[in-house]
Every structure is written in structure tokens, then in C-alpha cells.
Structure 1
Amino acid sequence: MTCTRAAEPDDAAFRAQVGAFIDTWHDDAAHGRPAYFDKMAPDGVYIGTDKTEYWQREAFRVWAKPYFDKGSAWDFKAIKRNIYFSPDRQWVWWDEQLNTQMGICQASGVMRVGPEGMAIQHYQLSLTVPNGALDKVQTVINDSERSGL
């Protein structure tokens, strides 16, 4: 007698499922849907582009409420995304390049997959700064820190 377990989706199908989840998460923000926050784990973390932007989910929800109340918060569209996962598919991590209202950004995330479904555990958004502009950008950052901004 041969024992078999329930078939798991192949790697490509699983990556597509994860990609669709992330795309829907971004689309929820673009359309101000509260489901955006439900896709994050209760203790999930979002790190934005400003050095002060570090939130756990509920604090992030409070901060973002005025944007979501308008029916549109931010609009991120993936240009390129790489998805990786643990052999048991309980952990997923990804990096992505995004077209945003701030220009091209990069981000990375970690997702937990459990009986309740997928939940974003950690997400970090970064602005892209060309290496040739780094000295100018650092001057602006230093000036703003000296002036208290």
C-alpha cells in the first residue's frame, strides 16, 4: 500500500498564488479597502521610507486612516518580483521593484502561511537612489536632521 498526501501546488503555481495575494494587498491600498490591514499579521510590521515610519499593524492602520478614508491611499504596481519560500511553504519572502507615486521603489517582505491563510509579517519599502546622486541626497538628509525635520 502506498501512502500519498494531498497534492500541493507546484512551485510556479504557489509563486503565482503568493504574487496574486501581494498584488491584491497593494490594490487594496490603491482603492482604500480596509482589507489591506487584514492581510497583515496582527503583530506584522511595516517600515516606510522615512526613518520614523516603523509601525505594527494597528498603529499603521491608525496612521493610514485619513488616506484610506479618502478611498485611495497609495498605488504600488510591481514591475519585478522575486518570490522564495521554505520547503514546508509556511514562510515566504520576496523582494520587488515597484512603480509608485514616489517613483521607482524597492521593497521586501516576509509572509507566514498557516491554516488561516497568508499573512504579511514584515514589509519594508525603500526609495531608490542612484549611486551618483547619493552625496546630494545625504546632504539633504543631513541638513534636514540639523534643522529638526
Structure 2
Amino acid sequence: MSFFVNLLMIKKIPFLFVCAVLFSTNLQAQTDSKSANQEIRIINRVLDSWHERASVADTTYFDLFAPEAIYLGTDPKEIWTAKQFEQLYVSYFRKGNAWNFKKKNRNVYIGTNAQYAWFDETLDTWMGLCRGTGVMEKEPNGQWFIKHYSLTVLVPNEKIKEYVFLINGEK
């Protein structure tokens, strides 16, 4: 009888090992998911704050850009470094004339190492609906900064021919 009990115990060891590995993997996935959700909440707060700062013409708006950040505006010629963008618009902020973009929705995605994130957001603006897309980087101190931002005016498909004609004229 003892032989059979020992045989059953030997067969249970691999099973128990597999169960332990699966359980620990599941715990790690839950931890990673919680961590990613926490980072997404932080990023949403940073972006909400960024838009809020512009709406009240707060010059700390520019502090949320990484030093090497790029901002792409709606005009094809609007490609600026963070420094150029600030130099161009800080005087408007100081006069209280900035912009007020209201977030309608936003999607945030976290990179595997949780050091980078990218997002897209639909904004209600004076130009109508716009889409902002961007990349953010997490600094060693845990703070997120905007590395790249692109703003585009959204054109509904049923209006695209009128839009193309408006931009290109009659050919």
C-alpha cells in the first residue's frame, strides 16, 4: 500500500508545481493590471490639468512638456519644439488669451515597461471637434511628461469633398 501512496504523491508534485506557477503568474498579471490602471489615472490627471491650465491661461501649461517635446498644430507649418511653442504662445497666456479645449473622450495605453504611454483624445474646441494624439514618458521621479503632441481637426467623411475643395481649390 505504501508503494501506491508514494507513487500518487510523486505524480501530485508536478501538478502542484504547475498550479503554483499558474497562481503566481495570475497574481503578477493582476498586479501589472492594477499598476497600469493606476498609471492611466495619473496620466489622465496630467492631461486634464494640462488642458485646464490652458483654459485659464496658466503658463505652467508649458511645464508639462518634456524639454525635447514636439508639438504639431493643425496647420502643416506648425511643427515646434517645446521651447519654440512656449516662446510663440507664452505672451498670449500672459495676456489671458489662451484656448479652452474640452475633452470629450480619451484612450490611454501603457507600454510594457510602464515608462512610456500614448493616448488619443477627442476635444471640443473653437475649431469644432479635434483629435489630440500624444506620447508621454515617465521620469525616474514618477512624473509623466508630454514628449509628442499632435492636434488635428476632424472632418466627417460626408464633408471631405467640400474640405478638399476648400483646401485645394478647383483643379
Cα offset, 1:11, TM superposition: 2.6
Retained in 1: the 8 A contact 2:66–2:82?
yes
Residue in 2 aligned with 1:25? 50
Q: Is the partner of 1:10 in helix, strand or coil? A: helix
Describe the SS at the equivalent of 2:47.
helix
Structure 2: give runs of 5+ residues left out of the alignment: 1-30
Which amino acid in 2 is paired with 1:37? F
Off by >2 Å, runs of 4+ in structure 1: 7-13
Q: Pick which of 10-19 and 51-60 moved more.
A: 10-19
> 2:59, 2:90 within 8 Å by CA — same for their partners in 1?
no
- Equivalent of residue 61 in structure 1, options 65, 79, 86: 86
- 2:67 maps to 1:42: yes
The answer to whether the aligner puts 1:87 opposite 2:112 as a matched pair is yes
- Total equivalences in the alignment: 138
2:145 to 105, 108, 119: 119
TM-score normalised according to structure 2 size: 0.75
Higher strand share: 1
Cα-Cα RMSD: 1.8
Counterpart of 1:97 (choices 82, 105, 122) is 122
Q: How far did 1:23 drift?
A: 0.5
Shift of 1:70: 2.0
Higher helix proportion? 2
Q: Secondary structure at the match of 2:98?
A: coil
* Counterpart code for 2:103: A
Residue in structure 2 matched with residue 70 of structure 1 by the alignment = 95
**Percent identical residues:** 36
Superposition deviation, residue 24 in structure 1:
0.4
How far the C-alpha of 1:108 sits from its partner, in A, is 0.5
| Correspondence for 2:132 among 107, 126, 139 | 107
1:130 is matched with: 156
Shift of 1:52: 1.1
Which whole-Å deviations, capped at 9, do the CAs of 1:24-56 have from their partners, x for residues lacking one? 011111111111111001110010111111100
Larger of the two Rg values belongs to structure: 2
Q: Deviations over 1:54-99 (max 9, x none)?
A: 1001110111123212224111121111000112210010001111
Partners of 1:93 and 1:110 within 8 A in 2:
yes
> After alignment, is 99-108 or 15-24 more displaced?
99-108
